[in-house]
């Protein structure tokens, strides 16, 4: 594979991302569903690639419209870009004051952990009772709901190497497929829930019909609408601000890589010599990918910058733009190289996991959120529901739809929750460790561990935050009467 091949593959990927944007602008159904341009571009690559168009004889040849080296570049690209996505999450972000964070983050974290751990409980229970004994699926399928739904395309693609090393190569394709189902279902169901909540008086912000502007549906800013892509924190004569921020991201990833290598070295010097079932080394960090450690590297770098008085040089908006670029290219590549054959061969397990994940997330949201939040329960909970179905971006889309002008504390509380939630679920350490742990110990140890986590999250919400929520609502009702 030559450098020219890699460069040309990236150019073609950018072309299809732009075509996906054109589809978003021109196709009304795609606009109304708020489907990302990256998903549309990836789907088009999938249709024109070796798995669909390439199966028919014609002038395009065996691999479809794309050469095999190009497809090979796209297959490995998500595993690289996911570290960029995670490294940028905390860089440039102002850490909240403990008092403010404690007030808002508690119930938000309770709901988020209940959703995240609940996906493991449901998935592992399905694996242990149905998928493994009846459909001869791998026990590791029990982790795919959380990886695909909450982790999204990036995490699913980033876990490919780990799954292949453990003999579960089809798992990454199933997870990417679940991520696509999660995004589409999350947006469709989320918009339907918002409309239902408005009609039944469960929202405090929206009182009329949900009606996004044409520009919002197309994904554009209206002419004259104010928006910020970032602040220049360095003079271009010394270093271009974008270059500075890309360099900071690189350092964050390198910190994560060093931490991971140290953990792997410690593992090899200690318990890795222990054999499970007589022939399997007790290795966990050997199978942990880089991206969750890149997240911690970014957090550590932000703390260091704050300590030395350099935090003002890192702009979070620019970091979000870098993150968005990496995520767009990642999704196009991941969807475009999705293995339809792997999904077809495991269609029963795939369907069961998708349906169970959707039902579980909708159920937890509608049951728990109204009880643990005081005011704005729907506005505050819909973001976590969206994230549990299709990564953080989906949650932000739904929060924006339910609270267009950020009048409620939903966005602020959601952001605080991410500081404590992201290092573990949705691509964090729990997500990264789940597959190796299942490989080493089977379904049930992790199932019972996640069940305990779920019960703790729900219990804290029910017995601690529920009374506070009821008091807050009562005080508000009394104030309104006065």
Domains and CATH numbers, the chain: 3-210+237-481 (1.20.1530)
**Nearest one of 157, 190, 9 to 83, comparing CA atoms:** 157
pLDDT in tens, 187-246: 889 888 988 988 888 888 876 555 556 666 666 666 666 666 667 778 888 889 889 999
pTM for the model: 0.75
Percentage above 90 pLDDT, the chain:
29
Per-residue pLDDT at 117 exceeds 90: yes
DSSP label at 461? I
Per-residue pLDDT at 304 exceeds 90: yes
- The contacts of residue 307 (CB under 8 Å, 6+ apart) are none
Which of 176-212 are b and which e, b meaning 16 or more Cβ less than 10 Å from the residue's Cβ? bbbbbbbbbbbbebbbebbeebbeeebbbbbeeebeb
Per-residue pLDDT at 355 exceeds 70: yes
Per-residue pLDDT at 73 exceeds 70: yes
What is the per-residue pLDDT for 317?
87
pLDDT average, residue stretch 109-119: 94
- As a whole number, the mean pLDDT across the chain is 83
54 vs 399 pLDDT, higher one? 399
pLDDT average, residue stretch 329-352: 82
What is the per-residue pLDDT for 308?
92
Least confident of 55-69, 148-162, 190-204, 331-345: 55-69
In angstroms, the CA 262 to CA 243 distance is 29
120 vs 383 pLDDT, higher one? 120
pLDDT average, residue stretch 277-287: 67
What is the per-residue pLDDT for 58?
45
Beta bridge partners of 281: 275
What is the per-residue pLDDT for 60?
46
* Structure-token pair, residue 348: 């029963």
Per-residue pLDDT at 448 exceeds 90: yes
Could you tell me the pLDDT band of residue 156, with boundaries at 50, 70 and 90?
Answer: confident
In angstroms, the CA 138 to CA 434 distance is 14
């Amino acid at each position: 594979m030559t450098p020219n091949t890699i460069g040309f593959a990236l150019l073609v990927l950018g072309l299809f991302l732009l075509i996906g944007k054109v589809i978003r602008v021109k196709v009304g159904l795609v606009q109304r569903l708020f489907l990302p341009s990256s998903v549309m571009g990836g789907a088009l690559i999938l249709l024109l690639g070796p798995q669909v168009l390439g199966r028919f004889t014609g002038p395009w040849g065996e691999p479809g419209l794309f050469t095999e080296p190009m497809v090979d570049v796209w297959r490995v690209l998500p595993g690289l870009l996911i570290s960029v996505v995670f490294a940028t999450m905390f860089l440039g972000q102002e850490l909240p004051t403990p008092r403010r964070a404690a007030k808002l983050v508690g119930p938000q974290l309770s709901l988020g952990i209940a959703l995240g751990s609940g996906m493991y409980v449901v998935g592992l229970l399905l694996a242990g009772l149905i998928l493994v004994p009846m459909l001869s699926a791998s026990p590791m399928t029990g982790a795919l709901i959380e990886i695909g739904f909450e982790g999204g395309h990036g995490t699913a693609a980033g876990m490919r190497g780990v799954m292949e090393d453990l003999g579960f190569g089809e798992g990454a394709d199933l997870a990417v497929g679940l991520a696509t189902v999660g995004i589409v279902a999350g947006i469709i169901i989320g918009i339907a829930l918002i409309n239902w909540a408005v009609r039944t008086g469960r929202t405090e912000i929206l009182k009329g019909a949900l009606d996004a502007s044409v520009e919002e549906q197309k994904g554009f800013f209206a002419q004259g609408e104010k928006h910020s892509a970032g602040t220049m924190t360095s003079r271009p004569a010394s270093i271009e601000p974008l270059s500075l921020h890309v360099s900071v991201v690189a350092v964050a990833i390198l910190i994560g890589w060093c931490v991971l290598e140290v953990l792997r070295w410690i593992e090899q010097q200690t318990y890795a010599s222990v054999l499970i079932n007589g022939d399997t080394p007790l290795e966990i960090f050997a199978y942990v990918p880089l991206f969750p450690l890149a997240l911690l590297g970014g957090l550590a770098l932000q703390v260091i910058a704050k300590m030395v008085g350099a935090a003002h040089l890192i702009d979070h908006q620019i970091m979000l733009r870098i993150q968005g670029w990496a995520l767009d290219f990642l999704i196009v590549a991941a969807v475009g190289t999705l293995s339809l054959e792997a999904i077809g061969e495991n269609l029963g397990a795939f369907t069961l996991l998708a349906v169970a994940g959707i039902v579980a997330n909708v159920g937890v949201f509608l049951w728990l959120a109204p009880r643990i939040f005081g005011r704005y329960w729907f506005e505050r909970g819909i973001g976590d529901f969206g994230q549990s179905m299709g990564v953080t971006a989906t949650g932000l889309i739904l929060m924006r739809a339910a609270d267009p002008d950020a009048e409620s504390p939903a966005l602020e509380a959601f952001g605080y929750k991410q500081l404590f939630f992201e290092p573990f679920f949705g691509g964090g350490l729990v997500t990264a460790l789940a597959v190796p742990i299942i490989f080493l110990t089977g379904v049930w140890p992790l199932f019972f561990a996640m069940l305990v986590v779920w019960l703790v999250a729900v219990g804290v919400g029910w017995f601690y935050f529920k009374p506070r929520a009821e008091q807050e609502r009562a005080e508000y009702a009394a104030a309104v009467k006065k």
